[in-house]
């Protein structure tokens, strides 16, 4: 059979290429139609003024200048960007930090570790919309579970999502609750790949839990850390669903939960209650987000890969 195929390949060398091309074509078409074409359209629209809902003239970098340097747009852009940066740092510290500790605890295979593994991962399978609504209810100032519990110890109604100082933190908390299981699983998989001989040798040399965690496990799970860091970065700068459900399209209150995803959406597509659609400015924002995320990801990947090799 194999001999027959090799014979056919020798006789008709183009057949194999044709076969591969035929298999790739549908996927490529989908990619071109739904990824590449919209991306290129966004690049093109970013250089046009929109009068109404149609491009009315080429204006060069004007849309970019407006969103970066002209008030109030620039204030809104930088405000949203700041919240994305805060989200990234908070998720790295609290979500991934906690995930690392949980993964290390699960690695030790204490009694009941399997059920804990399931519990930690369970929220990940829920949709972001469900999680957003759930936590919005929990954090309701009058009827929410959180304030009801706090009320038992005499703490009055706190408007978690209505106060500029607590809204972003509350949304981040909901996001961490939702996603904690994912980095936990990735880091745990990385830890489980470490050779048992290495861990036992370290134990025999007298390494305690802390030393084992910081000197052995942490350096050896560098590839997993790379994945988690890059995905957290991309997720933080494309953050949309949970802020949208919990704080609305305007990033309320007073823009204190606004992120680039929300700002892009309401700029490009408008909102029934705030105003008009501007595909030009929206596309400029989308291009800037793409360039920033792609650029930083490429640099970070290079750095993190080098770190993996050094380890």
Binding site for another protein (CB under 8 A): 51-54, 71-73, 139-143, 147, 156-164, 248-250, 252-255, 269-278, 281
Dihedral angle, C-alpha 114, 115, 117, 122, nearest 10 °: 150
Angle between helices 128-138 and 145-152 (to 10 degrees): 30
To another protein, the closest distance from the beta carbon of 146 in angstroms equals: 11
Residue closer to another protein, measured from CB, 145 or 299: 145
Enclosing H/E stretch for 80? helix 73-90
To another protein, the closest distance from the beta carbon of 269 in angstroms equals: 4
> How many CB atoms are located within 10 Å of the residue 103 CB?
25
Residue closer to another protein, measured from CB, 58 or 269: 269
To another protein, the closest distance from the beta carbon of 157 in angstroms equals: 4
Enclosing H/E stretch for 174? helix 167-179
74 CA to centre of own chain? 24
Question: What token pair was written down for 169?
Answer: 């933190």
For residue 49, give the nearest of 61, 67, 37 by alpha carbon.
61
Can you tell me whether residue 235 is helix, strand or coil? helix
Give me the phi and psi of 277, to 5 degrees please. Answer: -90, 140
Residue closer to another protein, measured from CB, 224 or 281: 281
Residue closer to another protein, measured from CB, 164 or 209: 164
Give me the phi and psi of 161, to 5 degrees please. Answer: -95, -5
Residue closer to another protein, measured from CB, 44 or 302: 44
To another protein, the closest distance from the beta carbon of 62 in angstroms equals: 13
Q: What is the DSSP letter of 123?
A: G
Residue closer to another protein, measured from CB, 147 or 232: 147
To another protein, the closest distance from the beta carbon of 249 in angstroms equals: 7
To another protein, the closest distance from the beta carbon of 192 in angstroms equals: 43
In whole angstroms, how large is the CA radius of gyration of the chain? 25
């Amino acid at each position: 059979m194999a001999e027959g195929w090799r014979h056919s390949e020798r006789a008709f060398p183009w057949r194999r290429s044709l076969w591969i091309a035929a298999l790739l074509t549908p996927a490529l078409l989908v990619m071109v139609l739904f990824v590449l074409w919209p991306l290129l359209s966004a690049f093109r629209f970013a250089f046009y003024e929109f009068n109404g809902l149609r491009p009315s003239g080429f204006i060069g970098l004007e849309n970019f200048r407006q969103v970066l340097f002209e008030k109030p747009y620039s204030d809104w852009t930088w405000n949203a960007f700041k919240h994305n940066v805060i989200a990234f740092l908070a998720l790295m510290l609290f979500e991934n930090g906690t995930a690392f500790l949980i993964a290390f605890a699960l690695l030790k295979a204490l009694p009941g570790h399997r059920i804990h593994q399931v519990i930690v991962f369970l929220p990940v399978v829920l949709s972001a919309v469900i999680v957003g609504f759930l936590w919005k209810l929990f954090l309701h100032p009058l009827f929410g579970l959180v304030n009801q519990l706090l009320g038992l110890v005499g703490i009055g109604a706190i408007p978690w999502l209505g106060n500029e100082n607590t809204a972003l933190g509350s949304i981040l908390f909901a996001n961490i609750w939702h996603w904690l299981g994912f980095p936990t699983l990735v880091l745990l998989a990385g830890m489980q790949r470490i050779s048992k001989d290495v861990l036992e040798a370290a134990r025999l040399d007298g390494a305690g839990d802390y030393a084992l965690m910081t000197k052995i496990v942490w350096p050896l799970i560098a590839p997993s850390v790379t994945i988690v860091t890059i995905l957290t970065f991309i997720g933080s700068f494309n953050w949309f669903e949970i802020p949208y459900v919990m704080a609305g399209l305007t990033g309320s209150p007073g823009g204190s939960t606004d992120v680039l995803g929300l700002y892009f959406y309401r700029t490009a597509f408008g909102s029934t209650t705030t105003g008009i659609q501007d595909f030009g400015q929206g596309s400029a924002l989308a291009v800037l987000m793409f360039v920033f995320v792609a650029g930083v990801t490429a640099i970070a990947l290079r750095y993190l890969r080098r770190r993996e090799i050094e380890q």
